[in-house]
Amino acid sequence: MSTKHVDVAAENIPTQQLLNVAGERVPDSELDHYVAKLTESDLADFLRDMVVLRRMDTEATALQRQGQLGLWAPLLGQEAAQIGSVRATRDTDFIFPSYREHGVAWARGVKAEDLLSVWRGAQASGWDPHEVNIACQQIVIGSQALHAAGYGMGIKFDGGDETAIAYFGDGATSQGDVNEAMVFAASYQAPVLFFCQNNQWAISEPVALQSRTQIADRAHGFGLKTWRVDGNDILAVYAATQAALAHCRNGLGPTFIEAVTYRMGSHTTADDPKRYRKDSELEKWRAKDPIDRLVKYLHVIGADVQSYEQRAQNAADELAAQLRAAITAMPDPTVEQMFDNVYAEAHEPSRRARDEYMNYLAGFEGDGR
Amino acid sequence: MATTMLKALNQSLHDALSDDEKVILLGEDIGTLGGVFRVTDGLKSEFGEHRVVDTPLAESGIVGSAIGLAYRGYRPVVEIQFDGFTYPAFDQLVSQLAKLHYRSRGRVKMPVTVRIPYGGGIGSPEHHSESPEAYFAHTAGLRVFAPSSVQDAYTMLRQAIDCDDPVIFFEPKRRYHEKADIDLSTPAKDGSPKAKVVREGEDVTIVGYGPTTYTLLEAALAAEDEGVSLEVIDLRTLDPLDIDTVANSVKHTGKLVVVHEASRTSGVGAEICAQITETCFDYLEHAPLRVTGFDIPYPPSRLESHHLPDLDRVMHAVDTVMRHHEATEGAAK
């Protein structure tokens, strides 16, 4: 089928950009304000974050190929969408991510090896949600959007100034839960940002299979204040996220951002994108690479790009070496842990099942197994 | 003064809202209307629209947003208007609510109570008379409460709300108007109320829960007239399943009949019969029997009296296990 949008509805919401593909600054009367205070040092930090993240992603893919991880969902190409948005949040804003938001969690201080431990199969989640204000990563497509809506309702009901942020992809916009979440957030005017990374593909399905109009236009129909930004432009993503969160914090209701980006890698390490998309498409998007874009801009403003790149590279090398060492040395959880935390309170049948199996295993002790 | 089950549930919610400001009610029509059964009558006007929240018509949305509220530190109590409308929320119940404590390795508690008026017998159209408890009893991470008495409706709802685990709370809607004197004192925190021997007996252990417990008590009276003594057990919770109370009874009666409205195959009765067979095999004098709804979609209401286990079907099962017992006793003589 065609991957082109059919013009059944006017494309009402324009795609905003602050850096064009050549890395030149494009004025935007609305968004300029939100990047005005960014210093060259902030831009260098963005660069470092994206370079480190890309390296973490590459290392994880390699670790999967070497049997150290069961699976990995690469984020290659989505570095600006993730870093730009999360760096615009406050630490008290509560994030509800999908399984691909490695950059969001890492930027909030989650260790790379803790992130990867989940993909190794060593544990079911890699962080304490209440410590980093990020919910457990969600694998069922779109389910977390409702959790963000509910969290946002709670903020509204108890008068907090935080926000709730749901991350999801273009595929998730077809899910009932995402649509219900927008209804709930709009009904209660809850401070929720729905952040959609439209990376063009849901495994093998092009975005046109999910939506015949721009995703942002649909969100607008729910009564959400909506932005559509170039998701490979870290400044535009950062600015739009700032704008959306300010809107939420000002009590003006929920918001939606469609960050138009591209999944340059596979859906997961078990996927083969050559079966469903052309190399030429990938090449087209490679020219829009989010890291290259920022590097070009740093050149445009006359920054000492080489030293920033060197610093970023050093940080990436350090993380990769440390990550590899941690993953290859990571012990398996104990068998008893398999039975832990099914319930928060005492639960007799669970206790019996655990004891029975542990006794069974104990019967083999000394058998040399 | 005698209280109806509806009033007892209303009082329970009222007292929970009063005792803990983090308790919040969510559901369709529960605010201004007071719920289609009036279980939440008057609570919105007393506690406000941010404590008793009318929601859009989306069950997954109701349960999913309750999960988000629990992340925020709330203790949500949601109402699913009718049993058959539970299924749109299935992912949120079994893949999210049930598993978040496990997924988060104990960091995230999900003290969410999901109230579901359930079961048949009120002449309703399709989707208003179902008994979906087995799906949830099968799901690790959920507790499943099914009170039968007016007192338990009050007490167990308080305990469910107080519990740090998610509780699916099945309310026997055709017994909503039953009356009893009840004790409104704050119950002890107890995430797993035990099964209760509601009538002691010698000959047959008969197990039910929710709306069928009344039927079993009627059966016990009828059996008494025939000189048969039934020990009636009200399970009260389907998860955790208090199999010890059932086993202790079967060890002295040697006979078991399990009764529920839900369909038979892979139902709660199957689990009880299996566990009793595993643990009490040498005590059994007859194979455990089940009296249940049939393996059919819930029938049109003009036929529901055939589908629902009634006194006659329960007595037929009792007669079956007793006849065998009498035959073998006779042979021994």
DSSP notation for B144-206: EE---SHHHHHHHHHHHHH-SS-EEEEEEGGGTT-EE----SPPPP-SSPPPEEEE--SSEEE
| B242 neighbourhood in chain A, CB within 8 Å | 348
pLDDT in tens, chain B (333 residues): 799 999 999 999 999 999 999 999 999 999 999 999 999 999 999 999 999 999 999 999 999 999 999 999 999 999 999 999 999 999 999 999 999 999 999 999 999 999 999 999 999 999 999 999 999 999 999 999 999 999 999 999 999 999 999 999 999 999 999 999 999 888 888 778 999 999 999 999 999 999 999 999 999 999 999 999 999 999 999 999 999 999 999 999 999 999 999 999 999 999 999 999 999 999 999 999 999 999 999 999 999 999 999 999 999 999 999 987 677 766 554
Dump pLDDT digits (tens) for A207-222: 999 999 999 999 989 9
Predicted pLDDT of residue B157 = 98
Residue type, B208: G
Nearest to B21 by CA among B45, B65, B51, B48: B51
Give the SS3 label for residue A211: coil
Nearest Cα of chain A lies from the Cα of B49 at a distance, in angstroms, of: 9
Q: Could you say which DSSP state residue A134 is in?
A: B
Using the Cβ of A362 and the Cβ atoms of chain B, whether some distance falls under 8 Å is answered with no
| A94 neighbourhood in chain B, CB within 8 Å | 71-72
A247 is catalytic: no
| A147 neighbourhood in chain B, CB within 8 Å | 64-65, 67-68, 71, 96
Predicted pLDDT of residue A331 = 96
CA distance A312 to B140: 45
Burial of A366: CB neighbours in 10 Å, binned 0-12, 13-18, 19+: exposed
Bridge partners (DSSP) listed for residue B52: B25
Burial of A306: CB neighbours in 10 Å, binned 0-12, 13-18, 19+: exposed
Give the SS3 label for residue B253: helix
Predicted pLDDT of residue B277 = 98
Considering the segment(s) B3-180 as one domain, its CATH architecture is: 3-Layer(aba) Sandwich (3.40)
Active-site choice (A33, A65, A90, A276): A276
Using the Cβ of B299 and the Cβ atoms of chain A, whether some distance falls under 8 Å is answered with no
Q: Which residue has the tokens 């988060």?
A: B104
Sequential DSSP letters for A136-191: PPB-STTHHHHHHHHHHHHHHHTT-S--EEEEEETGGGGSHHHHHHHHHHHHTT--
Size of interface A-B (CB pairs under 8 A): 154
| B278 neighbourhood in chain A, CB within 8 Å | none
Q: Which residue has the tokens 């942020």?
A: A165
Query: Crossing angle of helices B59-71/A176-187, nearest 10°?
Result: 70
Q: What is the torsion angle, in degrees rounded to the nearest 10, for the CA atoms of residue B231, residue B237, residue B240 and residue B246?
A: 0
* Residue limits of CATH 3.40.50.920 in chain B: 196-332
| Contact of B141 with B101, CB cutoff 8 Å | yes
B128 is catalytic: yes
**In the Cβ-directed half-sphere of A3, how many Cα atoms lie within 13 Å?**
12
* Residue limits of CATH 3.40.50.970 in chain B: 3-180
Nearest Cα of chain B lies from the Cα of A348 at a distance, in angstroms, of: 7
* Partner-chain contact B60 A177, CB within 8 Å: yes
The fold of B196-332 is Rossmann fold (3.40.50)
How many percent of chain B have pLDDT more than 90?
94
Burial of A311: CB neighbours in 10 Å, binned 0-12, 13-18, 19+: middle
B interface mutation test: which of A114, A162, A336, A341 has the most B CBs within 10 A? A341
Distances in whole angstroms, Cα of residue A228 to Cα of each of A198, A218, B268: 10, 11, 51
- The stretches in chain A having pLDDT less than 70 are 1-11, 368-369
Predicted pLDDT of residue A365 = 85
Query: Crossing angle of helices A40-65/A79-86, nearest 10°?
Result: 130
A267 is catalytic: yes
Report the mean per-residue pLDDT for chain B.
Answer: 96
Token readout for A30 is 């609305």
Using the Cβ of B134 and the Cβ atoms of chain A, whether some distance falls under 8 Å is answered with no
| B92 neighbourhood in chain A, CB within 8 Å | 143, 146, 177
* Partner-chain contact B106 A149, CB within 8 Å: no
Neighbours of B155 (CB within 10 A): 24
* Partner-chain contact B61 A184, CB within 8 Å: yes
* Partner-chain contact B61 A154, CB within 8 Å: no
| Contact of B77 with B71, CB cutoff 8 Å | no
| B144 neighbourhood in chain A, CB within 8 Å | none
φ/ψ of B18, rounded to 5, equals -70, -40
The fold of A15-333 is Rossmann fold (3.40.50)
Predicted pLDDT of residue B188 = 82
Dump pLDDT digits (tens) for A276-287: 999 999 999 999
φ/ψ of A237, rounded to 5, equals -65, -45
Dump pLDDT digits (tens) for A160-214: 999 999 999 999 999 999 999 999 999 999 999 999 999 999 999 999 999 999 9
Using the Cβ of B112 and the Cβ atoms of chain A, whether some distance falls under 8 Å is answered with no
Nearest Cα of chain A lies from the Cα of B134 at a distance, in angstroms, of: 16
Using the Cβ of B91 and the Cβ atoms of chain A, whether some distance falls under 8 Å is answered with yes
